[in-house]
Structure formats: C-alpha cells, structure tokens
Amino acid sequence: MAVFIGKEEVRGRSNLSDTTIWRREREGTFPRRVKISLNRVAWPLAEFEKWAADPEHYRAEAILEGQAA
C-alpha cells in the first residue's frame, strides 16, 4: 500500500512555497501530487524521498497516460 504525505508536511520538509512546488511539478522537477479526496491532495512518500535525496537531479516520471517526463 502506498504511503502519502500531506501539503503541510511537504512544505515543511521541502522548505518550498506552494507556488514553487506547483511550478516545479509542472517542470517535472518535483514529485506530482495525487488527489486523494475531493478537497485533499498528497504526495507519494517514496517519490518525495527520492526528490529529497537529490533535488538538483530529480526528474518526475510520467504518471498519467499521455504525460511526458
């Protein structure tokens, strides 16, 4: 079963603003959020930890069909 972390934890652990996280997600240089309910998003912990280990070289993999990494 996948483990997720919420927005507050992502902001705290990454030291990035919401806007910077959003921009980096679009660039493919930060893990992509997953909608886990109608009003809540989270990030897969494993992907976040990969990013945290090497933020300068992290590249997100395409998760949704039709997205290019």
pLDDT at 63: 53
Largest CA distance in the chain: 32
pLDDT at 67: 46
More confident residue, 20 or 67: 20
Mean pLDDT, rounded, for 39-52: 97
Q: How many residues are recorded in the chain?
A: 69
pLDDT at 62: 60
More confident residue, 24 or 64: 24
